[in-house]
Amino acid sequence: MTQERASEEKPYRRLETQALLQQIAFRHGLEAMEASENGSLAWVTSGFPVEIPIAMNLGVVYPEQAGAIIGAQKIGPAVSGYAEDLGYSQELCSYARVSIGSTEKPDEVPMGSLPTPQILLAGNNICGTVLKWYDAISEMTGAPVFLLDTPPIEKQQLPHNQEYVRHGVERLIEFIGSNFNRTLEEDRLREVAELSSRATKLWIRALEACKNKPSPLNCADRFLTMAPVVSSRGTEHCVEFYESLVAEVEERAKQGIGAIRDEKIRLLWDNIPPWHTLRFFNILASRGVVFPADTYTHAWTGNMVGTDTPSIIDEVVETYSKVYLNMGLDAKVDKMCQLIDDYDLDGFVMFSVRSCKRYSLGQLVSKEIVTERTGVPGVIIEGDMVDSRVYNAAQIETRVDALLEMLM
Amino acid sequence: MNYEGVIEQSSVGLKELVESGEEIIGYIYPHVPLELFMAHGFTPSLVRALPGTSSGFEESLQTFACSYIRNLYSQRANGQLLPLAGLLFPGNTCDALQNLGDIWRVRFPDDRVFRLTYPVTRYSQDESTTKFLAEELRILSETIANTFNRPFLTESYDRAIELVQDFHASAQFLYSARVVNPKIIPYSEVVRLIRTFLTAPTISSVSNIKDTAARVRVTSEDLGLVDMIETVRLAITSGDYSGVKLPEDLETPRVVIAGGMVEPQAIATLINDIPDISDSAIVLDLLSFGFKTAFTEAPSKSSDPYLAMAQSVLTAPGEPTHEGLSYRMKAMKDLLSNLSIQGLMVCEQSFCDPDQFEAPSIERAASELGVKTVRVPLDPELSDRGRIETRIQTFLDTLE
C-alpha cells in the first residue's frame, strides 16, 4: 500500500455533517456528567435496549464508544496498561481493558474516561464478555449490575426464549425502578422508541445510499457517523443529526459524488475497525478502494417500531434478541453475502480482532463459505480494535495487496 | 503413573463400552444432566482437552481462540475422538464454546451436533431461568428421541437418578474428608475417580467411587472425624460455615485450587511431580470438573423430569454464568477463612475470558484475608511444565 497523499487534494472527501458530530459528542458528554452528578448515570453496552433507561430519565454512556475514542487517540496500550497492572490479562477484550484502565486512572485519560456510574446495564446479545467486564467495573465503582440475558438463538426465536427475555426486560424495569425510585410510563417509552426508530431508519437510509456507484460513504465515514445512533438514539438531536447526514449523503448520490475521488474497487469490511489506524481506509482510498458496506455499522439497524408484536416490550424483546451477533455463524454469513450482493461488492476484508472472540472466531470458516456462495474473494487480516501493540501494519499491507492484485 | 497414563486409564472404561456396542453422546460443558442421556439409552461422556494435542485447529480457529477449544477441535481434526453418536455443545456459557459449536457443524457436517443453551441466572430471583432451561432440556430430549428413535424412558431415568446421586454423595464425602484431613486419601485419587465417572458414568465407575468413599468413611470413623466431615459437607453445600470447627493441629500448607475448566488431574500430577511435595497440600479445588461438578445437587424425583433436571443443573456452585462476581467472591472468602486455607493457586488458561477476568478479583479477595496467591497459566498441553512446577514449588515454599 502506498502512503496517504500529502497533497491538498486528498483521495477522499470529508463529510460536512461530521462537524455536527463534535457538537453532539460535547452535548452528550455534558449531559453524562450532569447525570452522574445527579446520581442517575447508567453505563450501557452497545446492544442494550437503551430506550428503557432513557424513558426512565437516566443518563446513558457507552464504554465501548469510550474505548473507540481511546483507540482513536492512540493511547490504547497505555490505558490498557493500567488494567494490566491490576492483573487483567492482555488477552482480554481491549474495550474492557481500557474501560477498567480509565476507571482506575481517570485523570490520565481526559478524553475517554467516563463519569462515575450509578448503575451498570449490560446486554449479552453482543458477547458474553460484557458479563465479566461489568462485574469488574461494579467491583471498582460499587454501581450495581443488571444483565439482560438474551440467550443466543438459531434461525428463529422460540417461544420460551421470547418469554424468558420478556421476563428479563420486566425485571430490568423493576431494577431501575427500585434503584432510582421511579416508574416507567408506557407513553414515554413509546415516544423514546419512536425517536429511536426514526434515527435508525435515517441511519439505514444513509447506509443504503452506499449502494450507489460511486459510494457516497466510505468505511471511516460510517464508523464516525454511527456514534449518535449508538449513543443518542431515542433523542431529538440524534434524529436531527441523521436528517443532516441523509441529506448530504443522498445529495452526494444524486450528484454522483463519491466518498473517494476515484472509485475502482468496492469491498466489504467485516468486524470492528482498528480505531487507532482509521487512516487504513484513506490509504486504500488513494488506490481507488472504497468500502460501501460493513457488518459493524449495519448492526445498528434493528428497528423497534413497526414490528408485528403486541406491545412495546415485545418489540424490545424481538429487536434486541435478533442482533445478528446473537444468531450465530449462519446469520453472519447470510448478512455478509447479502451485503456483497446488495452493494455489488468485488471482495471483502475480514478484520480478525484478537480480543473480540464472539465477532472473530469463525471467520476462517465464514470466509470460505462467503466466497463459495458469492464468488468474490476475501482476505483475513489480524490485529485489534484498540490495542495497537498487536496490529502489524506490514503484514496487513501484504495481505491486502494480495487481495487487490486479484481484483485489479 | 504419569498424567497421560492416568488419562489413558480413565478412558479404558469408555473404550470397552464402545467396543461392546454402547452408544455414547459426548458433552463439553460439565453441567449437563447425565440422567437425560441415560433416559434415552445413551452413555454420556465428558469430552475434555487432552495433553499431546497441539495442532490441527489451524484451518478453522485463530491462535487467539482459547487453548481449550483449540485442543478440542484438534482432537476431532486429528481423529483422536472416539466414535460418538452425538456431541452436545453449551450455548451462552462463553463466546469461545458458543462459536466452536457453529464451526464444528460446518467443518464436520456428518457429526450430530446438539446445543443446550443455558440461562444466566445470577440476578434473577424468580423461576424464569429454571423454566427456560427446563424447556431447553425438553427440546433436547425430543431432538434426541426423534434423531435416534429412542424415547425418554422413565424407568431408565429413575435408575440414572440413583446412579448419579450415588456419585455425588460419594464425591462430596471424599472432598469433605480431604478438607478435614487431606492425607486421608490423595487428591489425585479423588479426581481420578471423578474423571473415570465423568468419562463413563457406569455402575462400575460409581461402584469404584462408592467403595472408596466407604473405605474412607471407615478410616474417618476410626479417627473420629465423620461428624466433622459431614459438617464440612453441609457447610459447603449451604454456604453456612457457622458449625465448622476444624482440628487445631492441621498439617500445613493448606492450599485451594481456583479456576474453571482446568483439568484437576493435571494439577495433581504437577504437584506430585515436584520433589518433596505431595498433593496433600491441596485441601480443595474449586474447578469445574471437580468441586463444581461434585457439589451440584442431583435432581429430585418429580413429575416433571425436565424441571427437576434444570433445577439440579443450576445449583452448580461458582460458575460465572450462574452466580455474579460479588456472590462468588463472598462464597470463596467464606470458604477460605472457615477452612483454614493459607494459599490459593489461581489457574487460568490462555485466552479464556472467564478465567482471566476472574483472576484479579480472586487475588484481591484472597489478599483481604491474608491468603497468599499465585497465578498459574495452565494450558491443556502443559506446554510450559518446567516453569509452572518451579512457580508452584516456590509458592508452596513461601507457605511453609
Higher pLDDT, B32 or B5: B32
Higher pLDDT, A329 or B384: A329
For chain A, domains (ranges, CATH) are 18-183 (3.40.50.11890)
Q: Residues 114-133, chain B: which have Cβ within 8 Å of A?
A: 115, 117-120, 122-124, 126, 128-129, 131-132
Task: Supply the mean pLDDT for chain B.
Answer: 93
What would the pLDDT profile of B200-214 be if each residue is shown by its tens digit?
Answer: 999 999 999 999 999
Q: How confident is the model at residue A7 (pLDDT cuts 50, 70, 90)?
A: very low
Q: How confident is the model at residue B17 (pLDDT cuts 50, 70, 90)?
A: confident
pLDDT at A309: 67
Cβ within 8 Å, pair B62-A354:
yes
Shortest distance, CA B1 to any CA of chain A (angstroms):
34
For the ranges A298-312, B128-142, B265-279, the maximum mean pLDDT occurs at B128-142
Per-residue pLDDT, averaged over A122-129, amounts to: 94
Q: How confident is the model at residue B53 (pLDDT cuts 50, 70, 90)?
A: confident
Q: Is the pLDDT of residue A5 over 90?
A: no
**Sequence-distant (≥ 6) Cβ neighbours of residue A229 within 8 angstroms:** A199, A200, A203, A238, A242, A300
**Least CB–CB distance from A167: residue in B60, B128, B136:** B128
Q: Is the pLDDT of residue A114 over 60?
A: yes
pLDDT at A307: 57
**Least CB–CB distance from B353: residue in A92, A152, A168:** A92
Mutation test of the interface with chain A: which of B58, B107, B132, choosing the one with the most A Cβ atoms within 10 A? B132
pLDDT at B11: 78
Cβ within 8 Å, pair B102-A358:
no
Q: Is the pLDDT of residue A2 over 50?
A: no
What would the pLDDT profile of B232-279 be if each residue is shown by its tens digit?
Answer: 999 999 999 999 999 888 998 999 999 999 999 999 999 999 888 899
What would the pLDDT profile of A132-183 be if each residue is shown by its tens digit?
Answer: 999 999 999 999 999 999 999 988 999 999 999 999 999 999 999 999 999 9
Shortest distance, CA B230 to any CA of chain A (angstroms):
34
Q: Residues 272-331, chain B: which have Cβ within 8 Å of A?
A: 320-321, 324-326
Cβ within 8 Å, pair B95-A357:
yes
Contact list, A161 vs chain B (CB under 8 Å): 132
Contact list, A151 vs chain B (CB under 8 Å): 91-92, 117-119, 132
Q: Is the pLDDT of residue B359 over 60?
A: yes
3-state SS, one letter per residue, for chain A: CCCCCCCCCCCECCCCCHHHHHHHHHHHHHHHHHHHHCCCEEEECCCCCCHHHHHCCCEEECHHHHHHHHHHCCCHHHHHHHHHHCCCCCCCCHHHHHHHHHHHCHHHCCCCCCCCCCEEEEECCCCCHHHHHHHHHHHHHCCCEEEECCCCCECECCHHHHHHHHHHHHHHHHHHHHHHCCCCCHHHHHHHHHHHHHHHHHHHHHHHHHHCCCCCCCHHHHHHHCHHHHHCCCCHHHHHHHHHHHHHHHHHHHHCCCCECCCCEEEEEECCCCHHHCHHHHHHHCCCEEEEEECCHHHHHCCCCCCCCCCHHHHHHHHHHCCHHHCHHHHHHHHHHHHHHHCCCCEEEEEEECCCHHHHCCHHHHHHHHHHHHCCCEEEEEECCCCHHHCCHHHHHHHHHHHHHHHC
Contact list, B123 vs chain A (CB under 8 Å): 145-147, 171, 175
B142 touches A: beta carbon within 8 Å: no
3-state class of B348 per DSSP?
A: strand
**Least CB–CB distance from A361: residue in B62, B326, B350:** B62
Contact list, A167 vs chain B (CB under 8 Å): 126, 128
Cβ within 8 Å, pair A128-B117:
no
pLDDT at A85: 98
For the ranges A371-375, B118-122, B300-304, B381-385, the maximum mean pLDDT occurs at A371-375
Per-residue pLDDT, averaged over A113-137, amounts to: 95
B151 touches A: beta carbon within 8 Å: no
Contact list, A141 vs chain B (CB under 8 Å): none
Q: What is the CATH number of domain B3-154?
A: 3.40.50.11890
Q: Is the pLDDT of residue A402 over 60?
A: yes
Cβ within 8 Å, pair A135-B351:
no
Task: Supply the mean pLDDT for chain A.
Answer: 93
B75 touches A: beta carbon within 8 Å: no
pLDDT at B300: 86
Q: Going edge to edge, which strands form the sheet with A265-270?
A: A289-294, A265-270, A347-353, A378-383
Q: Is the pLDDT of residue B89 over 90?
A: yes
Per-residue pLDDT, averaged over A203-213, amounts to: 97
Domains in chain B: boundaries: 3-154
Contact list, B128 vs chain A (CB under 8 Å): 163-164, 167-168
Q: How many CB pairs under 8 A join A and B?
A: 149
Q: Is the pLDDT of residue B318 over 90?
A: no
Cβ within 8 Å, pair A136-B360:
yes
In this predicted complex, what is the ipTM? 0.94
Q: Is the pLDDT of residue A330 over 50?
A: yes
Q: Is the pLDDT of residue A49 over 90?
A: yes
If you measure CA to CA, which chain B residue comes closest to A146?
B123
